[in-house]
Amino acid sequence: MKIVDANIILRYLLNDHEELSDKATMIVEDNEVLLPNEVIAETVYVLEKVYSVKNGEISDILLELFKYKNIIVDDIEVLEEAFLLFGRRRLDFVDTLLYAYNKVKGYEVYTFDKKLKKLLEG
């Protein structure tokens, strides 16, 4: 199994560095690759905080990427639920992921985060 890191995904999505973006395109499009949740979270963070991409756009872009037949993600149902919430609400992506684990898998989430706690109870 091959794993890509956030830098590969970012160069692929942003197409902002001729040489590296071309290499990223070959890696992403010519291989079956695993995109771990940790890499997804880092990608979201960088897109949001460094590149000021809006939550809804991040959600749309990554959900589209997950449809590629050669991109493997864990718990696609959880990711879809997390990104639907992330695209609609002003929440940290990891909080939306925890919410999705609760909603989709029924996992109990312990938190001191008031926004997340209210969301889980509501």
User: Domain boundaries in the chain?
Assistant: 2-121
Supply the pLDDT for residue 122: 81
The fold of the 2-121 domain, in CATH, is Rossmann fold (3.40.50)
Supply the pLDDT for residue 10: 98
| CB atoms closer than 10 angstroms to residue 111 | 13
Rounded to whole angstroms, the Cα distance separating 66 from 64 reads 5
The pTM assigned to this predicted structure is: 0.92
Supply the pLDDT for residue 89: 87
- Yes or no: say if 29 and 69 are a contact pair by the CB < 8 Å rule: no
| pLDDT means over runs of 10, the chain (122 residues) | 96 96 97 97 97 97 97 96 94 95 97 94 86
Rounded to whole angstroms, the Cα distance separating 23 from 6 reads 14
Supply the pLDDT for residue 101: 97
DSSP structure string for 21-78: HHHHHHHHHHS-EE--HHHHHHHHHHHHHTS---HHHHHHHHHHHTTSTTEE-S-HHH
